[in-house]
A and B are shown apart, each in its own frame.
Chain A
Amino acid sequence: MLEAPRPDTLLDVRGLHTYFYTYEGIVRAVNSVSYRLNRGEITGLVGESGSGKSVTAQSIIQLVKAPGKIVSGEVWLDGEDLMSLSHAEMQEVRGRKISMIFQEPRAALNPLFTVGDQISRVIQLRENCSRNVAENHAIEMMRAVEIADPERRAGAYSHELSGGMCQRVMVAMALSANPLLLIADEPTTGLDVTVQAQVLDLIRTRVRSAGSACLFITHDLGVVAELCERVIVMYAGRVVEQGPVAEIFTNPRHPYTQGLIASTLRVDIDKPISTIPGTVPDAVHLPSGCTFHPRCPFAEELCRHEEPSMVEAGHDHSTRCHIVSGRIEKEMLEEAWELEAA
Chain B
Amino acid sequence: MSLANNDSFIRIRNLRKDFPIRVSMFSRVRLRAVDDISFDIPRGSTMGLVGESGCGKTTAGRCLLRLIEPTSGEVWMGEQNLTDLKSEQVAKMRGRMQMVFQDPGGSLTPRMTVGAILREPLDLHTNLNAHEKDQRVRELLSQVGLQPDHLSRYPHQFSGGQQQRIGVARAIATHPDFIVLDEPTSALDVSVRGQILRLLTRLQEELGLTYLFISHDLSVIKHTCTQVAVMYLGRIVESGSTDEIFDSPAHPYTQALLSAVPIPDPAQRGKERLKLPGEVPSPIDLPPGCRLYSRCPYRRDACLQPGPPLFHIANTHSAACILVENSDLNREDNALSAYSQPA
Point out the residue from A146, A192, A264 that lies within 8 Å of B264, measured CB to CB. Answer: A264
Tell whether, in the assembled complex, residue B266 and residue A264 are in contact, meaning their CB atoms are under 8 Å apart.
Answer: no
Tell whether, in the assembled complex, residue A266 and residue B264 are in contact, meaning their CB atoms are under 8 Å apart.
Answer: yes
B282 to chain A, nearest CB (A): 9
Note all chain B residues with C-beta closer than 8 A to A195: 279
Note all chain A residues with C-beta closer than 8 A to B194: 263, 265, 273-276
Tell me whether A105 is interfacial, beta carbon within 8 Å. Answer: no
> Interface size bucket, A side?
35 or more
Tell whether, in the assembled complex, residue A263 and residue B191 are in contact, meaning their CB atoms are under 8 Å apart.
Answer: yes
Tell whether, in the assembled complex, residue B191 and residue A197 are in contact, meaning their CB atoms are under 8 Å apart.
Answer: no
Note all chain A residues with C-beta closer than 8 A to B161: 279
Interface membership of chain B positions 159-203, coded 1 if the CB is closer than 8 angstroms to chain A and 0 otherwise = 111100000000000000000000000000111111101100100
Point out the residue from A148, A198, A224, A267 that lies within 8 Å of B261, measured CB to CB. Answer: A267
Note all chain A residues with C-beta closer than 8 A to B131: none
* Chain A CB within 10 Å, residue with most, of B159, B262, B265, B279: B262
Tell me whether A136 is interfacial, beta carbon within 8 Å. Answer: no
A226 to B278, CA, bound (A): 21
SS of B interface (majority): helix
Note all chain A residues with C-beta closer than 8 A to B216: 192-193
Q: Which residues in A have some Cβ–Cβ distance to B below 8 Å?
A: 48-49, 146, 148, 162, 164-165, 192-198, 200, 219-227, 245-246, 249-250, 259-261, 263-268, 270, 273-277, 279-280, 341
Q: A193-B261, A249-B264 are in contact. Are A198 and B275 (CB under 8 A)?
A: yes
* Chain A CB within 10 Å, residue with most, of B190, B201, B222: B190
22 residue pairs from A and B, CB less than 8 Å apart = A48-B190, A48-B191, A193-B257, A193-B260, A193-B261, A194-B257, A194-B260, A194-B275, A194-B276, A194-B279, A197-B275, A221-B190, A222-B263, A223-B262, A225-B266, A246-B267, A263-B193, A267-B218, A267-B258, A273-B197, A275-B191, A279-B162
Tell whether, in the assembled complex, residue A265 and residue B275 are in contact, meaning their CB atoms are under 8 Å apart.
Answer: no
B72 to chain A, nearest CB (A): 28
Query: Number of A-B pairs whose CB atoms are under 8 Å?
Result: 124
B262 to chain A, nearest CB (A): 3
Tell me whether B111 is interfacial, beta carbon within 8 Å. Answer: no
B145 to chain A, nearest CB (A): 11
Q: Which residue of A lies closest to B242 (CB)?
A: A270
Tell whether, in the assembled complex, residue B266 and residue A246 are in contact, meaning their CB atoms are under 8 Å apart.
Answer: yes
Q: A165-B279, A341-B198 are in contact. Are A275 and B220 (CB under 8 A)?
A: no
Tell whether, in the assembled complex, residue B190 and residue A264 are in contact, meaning their CB atoms are under 8 Å apart.
Answer: yes
Note all chain B residues with C-beta closer than 8 A to A225: 262-266, 268-269
A192 to B295, CA, bound (A): 15
Tell whether, in the assembled complex, residue A197 and residue B260 are in contact, meaning their CB atoms are under 8 Å apart.
Answer: yes
* Chain B CB within 10 Å, residue with most, of A192, A220, A270: A192
A17 to B268, CA, bound (A): 36
Tell whether, in the assembled complex, residue B198 and residue A164 are in contact, meaning their CB atoms are under 8 Å apart.
Answer: no
Tell whether, in the assembled complex, residue A222 and residue B261 are in contact, meaning their CB atoms are under 8 Å apart.
Answer: yes
Note all chain B residues with C-beta closer than 8 A to A276: 191, 194
Tell whether, in the assembled complex, residue B190 and residue A197 are in contact, meaning their CB atoms are under 8 Å apart.
Answer: no
Note all chain A residues with C-beta closer than 8 A to B192: 275, 279
A279 to B246, CA, bound (A): 31
Tell me whether B22 is interfacial, beta carbon within 8 Å. Answer: no
Q: Which residue of B lies closest to A276 (CB)?
A: B191
Tell whether, in the assembled complex, residue A222 and residue B189 are in contact, meaning their CB atoms are under 8 Å apart.
Answer: no
A247 to chain B, nearest CB (A): 9
